Amino acid sequence: MRPDLLNHAPILIILLFLGGAMVAVLAGLLQRRLAQPWAVGITGSATLLSLFGLARVLQEGALRYQLGGWRAPIGIELIYDPLSAFLVVVICAVSLLVLIHGRRIVPEEIPGREVPFFAVALMLIGGLCGIVLTGDLFNLYVFIEIVSLSSYALLGIGTKRSPLSAFRYLVMGTTAGSFYLLGLALIFMRTGTLNMTDLAEILPFVSGQVPVLVGLAFILVGLSLKAAIFPLHGWLPDAYTDGCSTATALIAPLGTKTALYAILRFVFFVLAPAYGAGAAPIGTIVAYAGAAAIVWGSFMAMSQKELKRMLAYSSVAQVGYIALGIGLGSRYGLIGAVLHILNHACMKACLFLVTGNLRRNVGHSYLPNLDASVRREMPWSMAAFCVAAISMIGLPPTAGFFSKWYLALGTVEAGQWPLLVALLVSTLLNGVYFFRIFEQVYLKPAREGASGREARGEAPLSMLVPTLIFAVLLLILGIGNVYIVTTFLEPIWAGVL
Amino acid sequence: MIESLVPFAAVMAPLAAIPLIAASSRWPNIRELWTLLAAFAAFFLVISLIPSVDADTLVGSGRFFIVEGVPLELKVDQTGLFFGLIASTLWLVTCFYSIGYVREHREKHQTRYFAAFAACIGSTLGIAFSANLVTFLVFYEMLSLATYPLVIHSESPKAIRSGRKYLTYALTAGIALIAAVLWTGNAAGTYEFTAGGILEPGMLSPSAMRLLFLLFIVAVGVKAGLMPLHGWLPAAMVAPTPVSALLHAVAVVKSGVFGVIRVVGFVFGPETMAAYGLDTMLIVVSGTTILLASCIALRQDNLKARLAYSTVGHLSYIVLGIALLSKSGFAGGMLHMVNHATMKITLFFCAGAIMVHLHKDRVSQLDGIGRAMPWTMGAFAIGSLGLAGVPPVNGFLSKWLLCEGSLEAGLNLPMVILLTSGLLNAAYFFPIVYRAFFRAPAEGVAEKGEAPPMLVVPICIVAGFSLLLFFWPDLFLGLARDVASAVFGGGQA
């Protein structure tokens, strides 16, 4: 690829998605079946581009991209460093697999609405990349709103109840957006800048002023709502349960995680110079909110009968892990948080894809009705489910163990024993609700003919292959976690801690 | 230290067999061939390490950073070699017995059975060869997980209940271990197993030190069957008998005991143990376990349950020996690891043969079966004598060393406990032998004859081990004494 093209990689990736979304609508008018291949094509090219971009960043160092040639802090700046480049690759690759998986299931679950669905999905992915890449706080707001609006639309297309759930999400999401904007206005009033780097330099001079503190509080609460950090998670379970399978598989692994990433950037890159890493009291609050989320989410997940809803509550818990890592504010906390963003994206995507396979071929994902016939018909899907579930529980050698390890190391280092207990207890709780499913699927004898459905066998290849890739990735990510840490996280330490 | 891939290969051989076993589920003979090949490979690889490992030389397989700053490292020292030898040798014998057993018994899900079995052995060898706490933790958790499919093997409601019980114990132990490992790493600045310990007195406050030790003991004590953490072991007897034999008498439970050795000798070290009274704590727990378990075993009519409680008692012999903090006690404890393994596996093999051949699993049903199955019950008699500590079976030697260790430590009570337990062992094993040989057989038993050779030959082999190790204990005794010297410093024990 031409090197000068790669100089523009960050903006090209975003534009590819946003432009692709517009064209998808036109292409869809022509031929409805074209929508999915188009979306896959766009995401595939973006994945390639992001991979080349990542290689270049690793070779030549971080790139600060001035949008339209306007210098920061006047113009908008995109930050393309190893961490953000890496996360863009993750976002693109995960979405690519989920979109491939959607080829069969989207037309079946929401017939006739494929075109808007895939167009909006592209918008969403573009927005997610934007959140990760941007170095400007107002620009961040714009991308967050793009993501939120497309999420409302995607989750609103689903079962009969989904518009209601999506509306609740919309109310909460808009409130969050307003909080963020309000906070930003207060900060801008005092500092006159929206650029993250610039703000980090100015903030130490005004750190004690009331409007600044109030602004920061608004921003953090807004972002926490978006990220569904306990106790601001109320909207999440309903929204995830009622959406169509592909929508949930796209939003659950990536949506809240990018909001968390925004918090991470904000806390470590903007607040750290003025308030110290983790911004002491704020950090502690965030960490303990995370611990509460872990315990609460796990308990709620245990009592769910619908697989999707159970996974949604487990997302609340998993968000807690990441929040805990950010709140710790130490090196190990940060490693754990970033790794868990990555690991959780793969685990949750895998689990939601299996749910999709179940809904398509078994007809439901209602836990009490699952039995050994499911395992006989779909051995590979269930094998993938097992790997992802073991990773969720956090047993070696799967990826989940290692992010948990770093987080636990961070809590020990900080002497925060209650947080360590929460982390470890969650292992047990996760074990309870996942082994319950293992027992159902592997050990509960099938009642012949009771289900009144014909056996449809294993999911088609277009659905099975992405599911299995995620499962294998979980093992690779687990064993290769040190490579990720040293290659993508190490280069940014200097600027952070 | 010698760099070599042998330790890595020994751990990988059983693990690599798993996909092959799974892939050839339709051709049972080929599937069993993979198991046997892996078992032979692991056996010879471990045997080949004997000449190169001595007190000063280790064999390591390089390092691979599993967590930042902490390598996944396999390194064979004498302690690891000791355990590795037990596990790999007895796995090989069990393979033959397993094949005979599952075919005779027409078990379902044989592929899952053999795959999980291989995973267990791979993890056990990993535990044996772990060079540091993190590697140990990784394999320890893998072992917990790999055992689950074997416990629930029959898929009966009882098996599923036992499976839940097992998982609850195992996962709780797992989180205790994570906490303990992290804490140790934070306090000592290293995870590396070092003879004599890495935690110096004064690194933590006395109460923190005791809490940390307690965490460790909960973590490894679950697998080692220390009371009150032993509940899963009798419940897990619903598993097929070869599983009970190899895993619940040798590999899994001995991993727990091996953990105790590592924790006492290589993490805390004798000095720190003594400084905070941790040895007393461990002596009390293990001594109580020995007596209680023996008493409970007396009252079990189910043969496998009786063996299970006997296992709980004998595991605590080993823990007691280590807790004595004397050279002879430590060496005796280690020696009892191998001795108990050969004796108890003999008894379990016999129980399995009786079950598949005569369909009997209660002690009260065993009248006169010695006439039908003289070889099986002869082996049973050897194992029983050994566990009661009667020569010429190897159990006598380790018990002798343990008693010596007790006196060396200046304590009389442990010796009294050991001797009492010997009597109790005799009380719950000898009646079985008496029934088998001296009571009139029930109708139709005498005509059934001996069990098939695929079962009887392995039984005779392991019983033979028990006798051989009485007359030629040099290899294991030498290793055990060397380890004790390394841990306690100074010359020969």
Give residue-wise pLDDT tens across range B379-397: 888 888 888 888 888 888 8
Task: State yes or no: pLDDT of B356 exceeds 70.
Answer: yes
More confident residue, A15 or B71: A15
Give me the residue from B68, B168, B182 closest to A408, CB to CB. Answer: B182
Q: What DSSP designation does B153 have?
A: T
Task: State yes or no: pLDDT of A233 exceeds 60.
Answer: yes
* Mean pLDDT of the A130-157 span: 89
* Mean pLDDT of the B82-104 span: 83
Shortest Cα distance, chain A CAs vs residue B445, angstroms? 36
Name the average pLDDT for chain B. Answer: 83
Residue-wise pLDDT for B95-143, tens only, equals 888 887 777 777 777 788 888 888 888 888 889 888 888 889 888 988 8
* Mean pLDDT of the B143-149 span: 86
Q: Could you give the angle at which helices B374-388 and B395-408 cross, rounded to 10 degrees? A: 10
Residue A487's alpha-carbon distances to A54, A89, A269, A331, in angstroms, are 11, 14, 19, 15
- Residue B390: phi, psi to the nearest 5? -100, 130
> Does residue A179 sit at the B interface (CB-CB below 8 Å)?
no
pLDDT at A452: 56
Binary contact (A412, B186; C-beta < 8 A)? yes
Residue A257 near residue A321 (C-beta atoms within 8 A): no
Q: How far apart are CA B38 and CA B41, in angstroms?
A: 5
Task: State yes or no: pLDDT of A180 exceeds 60.
Answer: yes
Domain extent at residue B204: 2-488
Q: The complex's ipTM?
A: 0.81
pLDDT at A278: 47
Whether residue B493 lies inside any domain: the answer is no
Q: How far apart are CA B177 and CA B174, in angstroms?
A: 5
Q: Quote the percentage of chain A above a pLDDT of 90.
A: 9
Q: How far apart are CA B403 and CA B400, in angstroms?
A: 5
Binary contact (B67, A482; C-beta < 8 A)? yes
Whether residue B48 lies inside any domain: the answer is yes
Binary contact (A395, B183; C-beta < 8 A)? no
Q: Binning pLDDT at 50, 70 and 90, where does residue A124 land? A: very high
Residue-wise pLDDT for A437-479, tens only, equals 888 887 777 766 555 566 677 778 888 888 898 889 888 888 8
Chain A, window 471-490: residues with a beta carbon less than 8 angstroms from a chain B beta carbon: 479, 481-482, 485-486
Give me the residue from A335, A424, A428 closest to B179, CB to CB. Answer: A424
Task: State yes or no: pLDDT of B257 exceeds 50.
Answer: yes
Number of domains in chain B: 1
Closest alpha carbon within chain A to B182: A409
pLDDT at A492: 67
- Best mutation target among A401, A406, A429 (most B Cβ atoms within 10 Å) is A401
pLDDT at B61: 64
Q: Which residues does A53 contact at the CB level (< 8 Å), separation at least 6?
A: A6, A9, A10, A13, A80, A85, A88
State the CB neighbour count (10 A cutoff) for residue A305.
10
Contacts with A425 from chain B: Cβ below 8 Å = 175
Task: State yes or no: pLDDT of B456 exceeds 70.
Answer: yes
Task: State yes or no: pLDDT of A337 exceeds 90.
Answer: no
Cis preceding-peptide flag for B51 (omega within 30 of 0): no
> Does residue A402 sit at the B interface (CB-CB below 8 Å)?
yes
- Best mutation target among B154, B175, B186 (most A Cβ atoms within 10 Å) is B175
pLDDT at A130: 92
Contacts with B183 from chain A: Cβ below 8 Å = 412
Q: Quote the percentage of chain B above a pLDDT of 90.
A: 1
pLDDT at B55: 64
Which of the residue ranges A95-99, B263-267, B471-475 would you say has the lowest mean pLDDT? Answer: B471-475
* Mean pLDDT of the B192-200 span: 82
* Mean pLDDT of the A267-296 span: 77
Task: State yes or no: pLDDT of B491 exceeds 50.
Answer: no
More confident residue, B63 or B80: B80
Name the average pLDDT for chain A. Answer: 84
Which of the residue ranges A278-287, A460-469, B412-421 would you say has the lowest mean pLDDT? Answer: A278-287
pLDDT at A302: 87
